[in-house]
Amino acid sequence: YAWALPEIEAFKQLDATTNYAPGSILFMGSSSIRLWDSLTEDMAPLPIIQRGYGGAHFRDLIFYVDTLLNQHDLRMVVCFVANDISQNKSDESTKKILNNYDYVVKRIRKKYPTIPILQLSITPTESRWHLWSQIDALNKGLKSYCQSHDNMYFLETTSHFLNEAGQPKSELFRKDKLHLNKEGYALWNRLVKPEIERILAIQN
């Protein structure tokens, strides 16, 4: 997982030089989190720590999650990881991916036994549409996991990213047909922020 090390090292530097507000919300996961340039302003006034790195899978997040969590005073973790099914030779079965996910959650719970964890569903994209049945099965597995564990929440976003023909809305994605554009992030924010606020209200 050496490809991710420069980004992980950069996070260590940020942690060493930045004072983050107590009760921050940690957004972690793959490049969709990293590329969310307006995240801090979108989530305002909620304090945010942004920790996305390119190409993240749950299997490498196992190794990096402790570094991402650091010793931050967190109120919630928001997670989005979208590369475990990408028609790569290293793709694993849904069962194995969910085992990796379970391990990541256990690492979080070791440091933060009771804070809410919000898992965002993997977004349907044109570039991986031919894999959607597998990705959808993984989403269902993640949802089931969240439903059966305390203080875990799953946000289903799929229907919002599909057009009337049931295909991914191309206008929400960059030219690579994989990553969200400005309009895509605006939509994501309209779904994610109210869910965060709803969960925080429950906690209070």
How do residues 76-130 score in pLDDT, each as one tens digit? 999 999 989 887 776 789 999 999 999 999 999 999 999 999 999 999 999 999 9
User: What pLDDT sits at residue 181?
Assistant: 96
Query: Could you tell me if residue 83 is left (phi over 0), alpha (psi between -120 and 50 degrees) or otherwise beta?
Result: alpha
Global pTM exceeds 0.85: yes
What band does 159 get if pLDDT is binned at 50, 70 and 90? Answer: very high
What band does 3 get if pLDDT is binned at 50, 70 and 90? Answer: confident
